[in-house]
Structure 1
């Protein structure tokens, strides 16, 4: 009985030593463990698979009947062999079957055609024999076969040598960590989860008080249900038993709820004020780790996009702005991979959930959540367009409809805009964002300064008309407030009043510096100053139980900058000088309400320095002869301030002494920038303020959404 084969086919064909393991070490090293086998595809063929081919026999004259050394060789049907793809043109020579001269070649009779390789075969192991797969040597075919092999549980268990139930830890695609590092990271993530009742209360708070701001990008009732199922009867969640991308969404919700909630709420959950920044940053980092453990970049899932979008509620407050921007770009790619940009009209869109089956209801929910996510992605991209001078998503490149208006619990359609829903807010914000995109395009097309200012005036009128014509009724201050509405509607009313004023500043920002010197642009000066006062007045009416939003803090800083710069272009006898100084002091006091926010701390530094310089100017004190007597660190972007705040509390009390120089990170600035063109010229150079450092610091602050 012949000895059972122990050398794998891959090593045999490559004429290399095999350690005869399953899989062998060479196949594992070459990342071909899924192809390692001792079985020849379609059986062993000595003409092709012989390890040491015989020496070639010297050619001898052959008769037409195929006689060699007196032996009768059957006639070979050339048409039959030409049907094999190996004889086709264009293939590399090393892929062609090497048949030694004088070797026995059997004839192929018509009744043996069934034994020919199947042209439709998709076996990736085409090196071992002249199979038809050679005709389709494409990346798609190879990757498809590789994934098919990877899905075979038995082979994977042999390769990974696992003797326990498979969990997410066993995923072969999780390559971001070594096995040892992965085990340590999972243990660390597990230790970061707070107690069950704390998790449930924070998730509930995020749903009631914060989901409206992101437009309901995740369905809170469904997430709450999945969270309760994950806990079951236990008081702990074993993260290894759940999707890491789902865990990333959980940590992003915890991080946002912790940093966004008022101190009274977080204290009721059992957390001290000193824990807020530390835990929010730790949970934000845990979210990123979960994304990598779930291999989010190659295994696309809507959980990944939702968790990244939800980072927006906390990352700017704790200072990880640039990190969020990088992940946001990745989330757009993932959303496209999921087809969220192609969620057009569906036959079931107009139906009532009462008329649908359970499957139809689930499909409706998935479509609407997908539309909400894409709506949020495109709006955030467009809202940055005026500050960055560009945008990535073209409206003509996607066909997704705006999300519909539904009751979150029952998914029953809401027919009027007097009933508050998350999507009423997000759709209105989307219209504002698209208006800014059109403004940018028209500004880029304008040939000269005069034409550009006409564009500014035209969009000033458009932006002022939007709160009067297109705003949902429950957000309109002219509509009487209904106490039966959710609590967040009162907060959203005030926030969108400040947001509308801020968009006017965004429209005029490129002409604000020119307006201090050229009377042709005086309207821009008035528009920015009046909008700044509206912002400060609206934020001064903020309810103490509201969550904090970095956007609103950035609104206040922007308003204070406009008023502070105007002070340097007025005489001391001007009555408005005293008024604007009072407004500026009020802006600083408003920012002092958020001691844990890097955006607020950054703004306090800027506005306090402006106020100090103006006070020196009024007192007639001579500026320090040293350049930049009140200079800023090279990087006072939110992420740098957040790093400092992690070690020492941010002192928001105005100091009379100049700000000391401190070592900071590389001089790179926040991607969300409010580009006030020509403000460097607008700030008088005779002041003691380091204009270059101030200008860079101001640019690093905002373009809030």
Structure 2
């Protein structure tokens, strides 16, 4: 009786040694474990095929080999068209592109060239069923559709995600270990949806997201992340990170987290969100979850000191948004309809609105960075998306009046303000001389003030009576809007702030920046609501206001009656920042303002009264437009009413105790969206240390 066969067919055809395991180690290494078998398929053993030795190259065999190797390129039309003609889903498209280029067409002739090639082209549902007893892994294939298997294999392949099999397993285990208990997850999801989602303009639908979290848990108390879409998992971790660092200390303590844990958990969950994006291959498999996760991290990454890391992700979010076509969500016949929509139409309406919200947030962030970065990447004329409509979030019922609050009201208005800053940036680049530039500054100052009074949402205006039935975040948004408007005034005037201390024709910029700084401090000094979250942008506003007052204070004589008020205002700014001990922005702001205030106090204690000149104060009876019209024809501001003077020192003693490199590093920690040009402040302070004006 012949001896039972122990060498697998794959090793036998390759003429390689087999360890006679099932499956053998060589087939496992070649990722052919499901094909490892000691039984010859179909017709059984065929010596003409299975025992065929390689031959020396001959003209005939060479020609045949060339034909086989050239087979993938025989159809040029297919090889040069990576995208399929028929519409397919997003998951399918990512795999189909890769397979179109890499798959080898089947060949009916077998020789040495084809021995090492897996015969995937011959795998059918029938062959899988026939081989189910041979390979245990085929059972998993039969439990799913062929398309699901393809997508699963594509997503888990370390060659695409950048993780090896071992590294991926370790990373998944680590991320799973970071998940808090179920009740804490829902507490943070609810807090973010009710108290923080408004700040980003509702980039995800809160009720729908909570439902998806409930479905992901099911009846279990544990969330098995390996069974979920990693891009959705990234969104969940971004919500957790923003909630834990943004909520007040009393709220996090009620959840069971100590104050010392907040920063650590926010960093860990933020890192877990980015790792989840990598595990989900977000760069090639575009999905709106990835953009939402990155935009949500905007609320936490700055607070934990990861500003530069987030800026890199911001660029990826913009590219993914364009790849998904979020910049082309134009008008639709179903927009604005309240009744008569089917379930599918309502779902499509919700998806369109969320896409528009995400896109408008992406553009606003890009445009707000233009003042500090000196550039932007998104052109408005290249977009065809309409602005998001206003809905009641729970029912998605359209809001027809202009007074009812909606999450999209402030985001739509902020987008217009951001675009005004972009237009200002472009006009300043196109203007050659300083005089014309300053006229533009005054013109845009007037436009911004007019926009603030005429185009701001009515529910956010301080003159509109507050309705107790409105959500709590409406009151918080009012203060945010006032501080933001004042901050934008500083952004427009900052390029002439240094000149305004020496040259009378720029006095209005000095007055405008100082008044805006006082407005910011007055708004932020209020008593905060017990549930109100902390926002890094509000803290950055306070830091900017303090820097403006510091610069102005350094240019005043110790006999000036405003000195004491300015010193008190800077101290108030520092005290306001001390409210947020877990914020990196607030901590750096304190480190920045405290030494500067000390230097100011040293200077005034020395009682060195420098020579002074009188500079006419800005007249409140002149509008910025009238002032702009006078700039071209005159070299100074029109003479204001008599008796109003500001004293400006002609010489300021050097400040050797100020470490300017340290201050430059501290200023670099401010996020680009703050819009404060760090170079301008650095040059202003450097000129003070050198006792020179510019």
Q: TM-score over 0.5 for the alignment? A: yes
Partner of 2:182: 196
Residues 603/514 of structure 1: CA separation in 2 closer, same or farther (3 Å cut): same
Q: Is 1:349 aligned with 2:335?
A: yes
Q: Is 1:207 aligned with 2:193?
A: yes
Root-mean-square deviation (Å)? 4.2
5 Å-filtered alignment, 1:220-299, equals 220-299=206-285
Cα-to-partner distance string for 1:225-265 (whole Å, 9 max, x where unaligned) = 01111111111111111111111111100110000000111
Partner of 2:639: none
Cα separation, 1, equivalents of 2:511 and 2:655: 35
Cα separation, 2, equivalents of 1:98 and 1:544: 77
Equivalent of 1:552, from 538, 543, 546?
A: 538
Is the CA contact 1:216–1:422 (under 8 Å) kept in the aligned structure 2? yes
Q: Is 1:133 aligned with 2:75?
A: yes
Secondary structure class of the residue paired with 1:543: coil
Q: Is 1:395 aligned with 2:405?
A: no
- Greater shift, 146-155 or 500-509, is seen at 146-155
Partner of 1:582: 568
5 Å-filtered alignment, 1:100-249, equals 127=69, 132-134=74-76, 136-138=78-80, 140=82, 143-145=98-100, 171-174=155-158, 175-249=161-235
Q: Is 1:567 aligned with 2:565?
A: no
Q: Is 1:506 aligned with 2:528?
A: no
Cα-to-partner distance string for 1:201-245 (whole Å, 9 max, x where unaligned) = 111011111000000001111100011111111111111111111
Partner of 1:453: 438
Cα separation, 2, equivalents of 1:626 and 1:207: 49
Cα separation, 1, equivalents of 2:500 and 2:343: 61
Secondary structure class of the residue paired with 1:317: coil
Is the CA contact 1:322–1:670 (under 8 Å) kept in the aligned structure 2? no
Cα separation, 2, equivalents of 1:595 and 1:382: 30
1:640, distance to aligned residue in structure 2 (A): 7.7
Partner of 1:674: 676
Secondary structure class of the residue paired with 1:370: helix
1:130, distance to aligned residue in structure 2 (A): 8.7
Is the CA contact 2:667–2:678 (under 8 Å) kept in the aligned structure 1? no
Higher relative helix content: 2
Q: Is 1:368 aligned with 2:353?
A: yes
Cα separation, 2, equivalents of 1:435 and 1:160: 63
Cα-to-partner distance string for 1:633-657 (whole Å, 9 max, x where unaligned) = 487449989xxxxxxxxxxxxxxxx
Cα separation, 2, equivalents of 1:402 and 1:679: 36
Equivalent of 2:584, from 574, 598, 609?
A: 598
Is the CA contact 2:660–2:686 (under 8 Å) kept in the aligned structure 1? no
Partner of 1:302: 288
1:513, distance to aligned residue in structure 2 (A): 0.7
Partner of 1:539: 524
1:192, distance to aligned residue in structure 2 (A): 1.2
1:188, distance to aligned residue in structure 2 (A): 1.7
1:542, distance to aligned residue in structure 2 (A): 4.4
Is the CA contact 2:458–2:464 (under 8 Å) kept in the aligned structure 1? yes
Partner of 1:439: 424
Is the CA contact 1:512–1:676 (under 8 Å) kept in the aligned structure 2? no
1:624, distance to aligned residue in structure 2 (A): 12
Cα-to-partner distance string for 1:429-484 (whole Å, 9 max, x where unaligned) = 11011101101011011121111111100000001111111111100111111111
Partner of 2:627: none
Secondary structure class of the residue paired with 2:156: coil
1:24, distance to aligned residue in structure 2 (A): 11
Secondary structure class of the residue paired with 2:600: helix
Partner of 1:468: 453
Q: Is 1:478 aligned with 2:433?
A: no
Is the CA contact 1:513–1:676 (under 8 Å) kept in the aligned structure 2? no
* Unmatched segments (≥5 aa) in structure 2: 43-47, 84-96, 104-119, 609-651
Residues 514/631 of structure 1: CA separation in 2 closer, same or farther (3 Å cut): closer
Cα separation, 1, equivalents of 2:428 and 2:655: 40
1:401, distance to aligned residue in structure 2 (A): 0.9
Cα separation, 1, equivalents of 2:342 and 2:224: 33
Is the CA contact 1:613–1:687 (under 8 Å) kept in the aligned structure 2? no
| Number of aligned residues | 590
Is the CA contact 2:370–2:376 (under 8 Å) kept in the aligned structure 1? yes
Cα separation, 2, equivalents of 1:198 and 1:421: 27
Is the CA contact 1:628–1:688 (under 8 Å) kept in the aligned structure 2? no
1:580, distance to aligned residue in structure 2 (A): 1.0
Cα separation, 2, equivalents of 1:159 and 1:433: 60
Cα separation, 1, equivalents of 2:31 and 2:319: 27
Cα separation, 2, equivalents of 1:173 and 1:399: 37
1:325, distance to aligned residue in structure 2 (A): 0.5
Is the CA contact 2:494–2:680 (under 8 Å) kept in the aligned structure 1? no
Cα separation, 2, equivalents of 1:163 and 1:634: 63
Q: Is 1:530 aligned with 2:515?
A: yes
Cα separation, 2, equivalents of 1:126 and 1:393: 48
Residues 26/135 of structure 1: CA separation in 2 closer, same or farther (3 Å cut): farther
Partner of 1:378: 363
1:36, distance to aligned residue in structure 2 (A): 13
1:602, distance to aligned residue in structure 2 (A): 0.5
1:25, distance to aligned residue in structure 2 (A): 9.9
Cα separation, 2, equivalents of 1:322 and 1:34: 46
TM-score for the superposition, normalised by structure 2 = 0.76
Residues 130/244 of structure 1: CA separation in 2 closer, same or farther (3 Å cut): closer
Is the CA contact 1:316–1:638 (under 8 Å) kept in the aligned structure 2? no
1:172, distance to aligned residue in structure 2 (A): 3.2
Cα separation, 1, equivalents of 2:607 and 2:124: 80
Partner of 2:389: 404
Q: Is 1:430 aligned with 2:385?
A: no
1:682, distance to aligned residue in structure 2 (A): 3.6
Partner of 1:421: 406
1:559, distance to aligned residue in structure 2 (A): 0.2
Secondary structure class of the residue paired with 1:230: helix
Secondary structure class of the residue paired with 1:315: coil
Partner of 1:90: none
5 Å-filtered alignment, 1:46-61, equals 52=55
* Unmatched segments (≥5 aa) in structure 1: 58-92, 100-124, 642-668, 692-705
5 Å-filtered alignment, 1:652-663, equals none
Residues 573/375 of structure 1: CA separation in 2 closer, same or farther (3 Å cut): same
Cα separation, 2, equivalents of 1:98 and 1:488: 71
